[in-house]
Structure 1
Amino acid sequence: MGFKISWLAFEALDKATLLDALGFHDTGASDEANEAPFSAAQLPNGWSIIWSNDFGWIETQSVKLPFPTKRTIACQLHEGLMFSAAHGAKDGIEMWSLSHDAQTDLHNLSMTGDLPATFPAIRDRLFEEQKAEDAGSAEVDFIFDIPIELAQSVTGFRHDLWEMDGRRPNWSVIEPKSPPRPQHSFFKWPFKRKGESR
Structure 2
Amino acid sequence: MEYNFSYYSFCGIDKSALLSGLGMQDTGNVDANGQYDFTMAQLPDHWIVFRYNNLGRPPAVARAALSRQGTLIACDVREGEHVCRVECYEHGALKWSIFHDGEAGDTLDLQVTGVVPPTLAPMRRAAFAAQQKADQAGEEAHYMYWLPLDFAASLTGYRYDRETYPWGTPQFTEIEPVVPATF
TM-score computed with the length of structure 1 as normaliser:
0.82
Give the Cα–Cα distance (whole angstroms) in 1 for the partners of residues 125 and 142 of structure 2: 14
Residue 165 (structure 1) shift: 2.9
8 Å contact from structure 1 (residues 44, 167) kept in 2? no
Residue 158 (structure 1) shift: 0.6
Counterpart in 2 of 1:69?
69
Give the Cα–Cα distance (whole angstroms) in 2 for the partners of residues 66 and 110 of structure 1: 24
The count of corresponding residues between Structure 1 and Structure 2 is 178
Residue 68 (structure 1) shift: 4.3
Q: Is 1:20–2:16 an aligned residue pair?
A: no
Counterpart in 1 of 2:113?
112
Name the CA shift for 1:118/1:34 in 2 (closer, same or farther; >3 Å).
Answer: farther
8 Å contact from structure 1 (residues 11, 72) kept in 2? yes
Counterpart in 2 of 1:3?
3
Q: Which has the higher helix share?
A: 2
- Name the Cα RMSD after superposition: 2.0
Counterpart in 2 of 1:190?
none
Mark the runs of 5 or more structure 2 residues left unpaired by the alignment.
none
8 Å contact from structure 1 (residues 41, 49) kept in 2? yes
Counterpart in 1 of 2:48?
48
Percent of pairs with identical residues: 30
Counterpart in 2 of 1:92?
92
TM-score computed with the length of structure 2 as normaliser:
0.88
Counterpart in 2 of 1:144?
145
8 Å contact from structure 1 (residues 6, 53) kept in 2? yes
Counterpart in 1 of 2:81?
81
Residue 66 (structure 1) shift: 7.5
SS of alignment partner, residue 80 of structure 2: coil
| One-letter amino acid of the structure 1 residue matched with residue 159 of structure 2 | R
